[in-house]
């Protein structure tokens, strides 16, 4: 009798433990880690109340391409730019030369002078892209947005050929200044960047690390440009107000949590 009672009690206990495991996520649901991941997903492309009070604004709402347009073709945006799982994705399935058919660089509708810009990006294997600032959108003078605006490089350092070129690696101020360190994550993993520009003082951050710090528009800035591929572009890097750009370099790239604060 005692043996039977012990067996029955054990079965009840085992059943209860199994139910507890199921309710706590043994099947991949409702664990504390899962709850945190869900919270992070829900928080993507949103602003906290504190951020709103501090003056931050979203440049991507996570659902539409509102606020962006193809360089020189406002209000149209290339069909290759898609909203994909809460990110702004350049779909490289149809390539034409080094750009994507009906892709193209996109720029923000608004222009900014002093600002703090934050976003996340991930790049495809062997991929290349960039985040461009101070773009002046005048196609009668400038065929491409990078004819006026400096770029923070987005790159797969492990497999893209540009990684072999100094000042062309992820986090660099493209062709101007190499990043002081390389905290970049591998292809297809998210990176967080911050670009802060205040009265000519420019700082680039990659995954929380200040990788570039310089002053724009002074003699040293002009010297940097004179020694770069932009030396024959008379207005490159001169403008103190302009639009934000995301580059089509012919590869899959994703952006999310794009937010900006005017300083």
DSSP state of 162: G
Q: Each residue of 141-188: pLDDT tens digit? A: 999 999 999 999 999 999 999 999 999 999 999 999 999 999 999 999
Residue 96 pLDDT grade (very low, low, confident, very high; cuts 50, 70, 90): confident
Q: What is the DSSP string of 40-90?
A: HHHHTT---HHHHHTTEEES--SS--TTEEETTSTT---TTEEEETTEEEE
The enclosing H or E element of 222 equals: helix 219-226
Q: How far apart are CA 179 and CA 202, in angstroms?
A: 13
- In this prediction the pTM is 0.84
Class assignment of domain 48-262? mainly beta
Domains of the chain: which residue ranges? 1-43, 48-262
Average of pLDDT values for 73-80? 96
Residue 190 pLDDT grade (very low, low, confident, very high; cuts 50, 70, 90): very high
């Amino acid at each position: 009798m005692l043996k039977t009672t012990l067996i029955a009690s054990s079965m009840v206990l085992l059943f209860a433990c199994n139910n507890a495991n199921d309710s706590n996520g043994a099947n991949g649901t409702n664990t504390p880690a899962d709850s945190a991941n869900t919270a992070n997903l829900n928080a993507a492309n949103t602003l906290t109340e504190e951020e709103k009070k501090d003056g931050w604004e979203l440049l991507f709402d996570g659902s539409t391409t509102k606020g962006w347009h193809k360089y020189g073709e406002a209000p149209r945006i290339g069909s290759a730019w898609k909203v994909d799982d809460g990110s702004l994705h350049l779909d490289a399935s149809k390539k034409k030369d080094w750009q994507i058919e009906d892709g193209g660089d996109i720029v923000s509708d608004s222009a900014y002078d002093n600002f703090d810009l934050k976003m996340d990006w991930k790049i495809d294997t062997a991929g290349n892209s960039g985040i461009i600032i101070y773009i002046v959108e005048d196609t009668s003078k400038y065929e491409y947005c990078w004819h006026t605006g400096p770029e923070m490089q987005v790159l797969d350092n492990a497999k893209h050929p540009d990684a072999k070129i100094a000042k062309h690696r992820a986090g660099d101020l493209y062709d101007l200044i190499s990043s002081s360190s390389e905290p970049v994550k591998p292809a297809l993993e998210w990176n967080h960047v911050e670009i802060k520009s205040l009265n000519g003082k420019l700082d680039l951050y990659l995954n929380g690390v200040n990788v570039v710090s310089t002053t724009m528009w002074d003699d040293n800035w002009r010297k940097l440009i004179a020694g770069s591929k932009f030396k024959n572009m008379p207005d490159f890097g001169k403008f103190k107000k302009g639009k934000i750009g995301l580059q089509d370099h012919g590869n899959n790239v994703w952006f999310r949590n794009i937010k900006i604060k005017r300083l």
